[in-house]
């Protein structure tokens, strides 16, 4: 969050509240008195250019109809005292899901376990069901032997993996899909199609650098310093619902419906395999 008071500007990338009511009141107060920025609600600034390419693939239908997504955010440490793995690791993943799908979940659930400190979950498994019937799963942990920052998108025609830990091949697109039969008759097999693997080239960019450049430009040019605040409230609302489910042992929690949106990135699912299209052709 960025705040301006008495001519001074400060910047923080963390959520400013642990509940929706508090976050909304804080946002309204800040909009009235100071200028605020909530980067955790604006994933475009937090995603490198390869992540923006993934958004393009989803939105243009290159992956076909999106079936589901799953994200991994795991590492050994840093173990927190004042928050669990859900609040520490999930905000970025949730904001990225919002950005990629242009959608919000209607139902969420979460299960987790505490091993190091009583009452503070070290590992959390989340499930989110979106209005467009797309589902997403998140594996969050600071008690894991591997450091993973990965997001997989499974579509009807192609699949994509964004791996932030990779140096060069951060975004990989797989010509893989399940091909249903042409007639849908009983006993007709669903075949698995495997093809090439592509690594779309995009100019390298450091996410933190992009975020800081937006911040500096907004301050220097007098631009909008409130970007991301509404989306940040949505992220906190989902986190609060996931925490409620976690407290209830994984029970599903329903969220309020969102305003109507146009889901441009979900083309209708074909009942037969399309002609094979080679990447770049």
Q: 203-211: long-range contacts at Cβ-Cβ below 8 A with a sequence spacing of 24 or more?
A: 203/49, 204/48, 204/49, 205/48, 205/49, 206/48, 207/45, 207/46, 207/47, 207/48, 210/45, 210/48, 211/13, 211/39, 211/45, 211/46
Cβ atoms of residues 161 and 50 within 8 Å: no
In angstroms, the Cα distances linking 255 to 93, 233, 234, 239 are: 18, 13, 10, 11
pLDDT in tens, 96-142: 999 899 999 999 999 999 999 999 999 999 999 999 999 999 999 99
* CATH numbers and ranges of domains, the chain: 50-205+230-254 (3.30.360.10)
Region of 187 on the Ramachandran plot (φ > 0 left; ψ -120 to 50 alpha; else beta): left
Cα 155–chain centre separation: 16
Between 185 and 76, residue with greater pLDDT:
76
Q: Can you give the pTM of this predicted structure?
A: 0.79
pLDDT in tens, 221-276: 776 665 555 677 888 999 999 999 999 999 999 998 765 544 343 444 443 344 44
């Amino acid at each position: 969050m960025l705040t301006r008071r008495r001519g001074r500007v400060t910047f923080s990338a963390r959520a400013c509240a642990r509940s929706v009511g508090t976050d909304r009141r804080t946002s309204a107060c800040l909009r009235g008195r100071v200028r605020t920025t909530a980067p955790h609600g604006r994933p475009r600034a937090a995603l490198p250019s390869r992540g923006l390419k993934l958004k393009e693939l989803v939105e243009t239908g290159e992956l076909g109809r999106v079936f589901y997504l799953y994200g991994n955010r795991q590492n050994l440490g840093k173990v927190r005292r004042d928050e669990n793995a859900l609040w520490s690791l999930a905000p970025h993943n949730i904001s990225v899901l919002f950005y990629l799908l242009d959608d919000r979940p209607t139902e969420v659930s979460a299960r987790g376990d505490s091993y190091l400190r009583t009452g503070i979950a070290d590992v959390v498994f989340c499930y989110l069901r979106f209005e467009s019937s797309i589902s997403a799963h998140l594996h969050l942990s600071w008690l894991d032997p591997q450091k993973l920052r990965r997001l997989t998108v499974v579509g009807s025609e192609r699949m994509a993996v964004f791996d932030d830990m990779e140096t060069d091949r951060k975004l990989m697109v797989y010509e893989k899909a399940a091909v249903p039969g042409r007639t849908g008759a009983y006993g007709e097999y669903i075949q698995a199609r495997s093809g090439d693997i592509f690594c779309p080239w995009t100019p390298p960019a450091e996410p933190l650098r992009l975020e800081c450049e937006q911040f500096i430009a907004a301050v220097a040019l007098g631009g909008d310093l409130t970007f991301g605040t509404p989306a940040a409230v949505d992220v906190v609302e989902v986190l609060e619902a996931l925490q409620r489910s976690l407290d209830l042992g994984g029970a599903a929690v329903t969220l309020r419906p969102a305003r109507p949106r146009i889901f441009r990135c979900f083309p209708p699912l074909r009942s037969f395999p399309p002609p094979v299209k080679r990447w770049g052709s």
